[in-house]
Amino acid sequence: MMYMMYFLLFGLVLGLAAVASNPSPYFAALGLVVVAGIGCGVLIWHGGSFLSLILFLIYLGGMLVVFAYSAALAAEPYPEGWGSWPVLGLMLGYLLGVVSVGTLFSSSMYDESWMVCDEFGEFYFVRGDMEGVATLYSSGGFMLAMGVWVLLVTLFVVLELTRGMSRGTLRAV
């Protein structure tokens, strides 16, 4: 079943090139959806099912939706996707770069691969992600408080950056 992982990673690189090559945020965010979905699949294959679920829900379902709404308010009326030659050329260029660097640095396709290590203390990786989250709430309490404070500071930073209608940092909204 390494073939399945091969296809997932292939889609990941394709999605990465799509995100990097599109100047319009609509198509770049679409590529990001594909990359995040495939990344969740890779994560499930390595045993982090809980983490993959959280990634899908919060990253795709929360942050990317907010980004899509913000982009819809602020982006251009005539977005350029893969239909126009400069964008397609950039995409093919990125893929060519990845393939050439890959063939330059890999001895063969079947010699080496990165395998997942299973043990860390008393956690086995299959349950590691769930146990990790539980630990954050118990013995990692100080770091949880720090994370909460940093998120609050981030909220203040974003509010300060977007304060004011047209005299603010962002112009239109």
Interface residues with other proteins (CB under 8 A)? 114, 117, 146, 149-150, 153-154, 156-157, 160-161, 164, 167-169
Q: Please state the closest distance from residue 73 (CB atom) to other proteins, in A.
A: 18
Q: Which is nearer to other proteins, 92 or 161 (CB)?
A: 161
Minimum CB separation of residue 76 from other proteins in Å reads 18
Residue 14 CB, shortest distance to other proteins, in Å, is 20
Question: Which is nearer to other proteins, 100 or 154 (by Cβ)?
Answer: 154
Closer to other proteins by CB, 138 or 169: give it. Answer: 169
Please state, in angstroms and rounded to a whole number, the distance separating the CA atoms of residues 112 and 49: 25
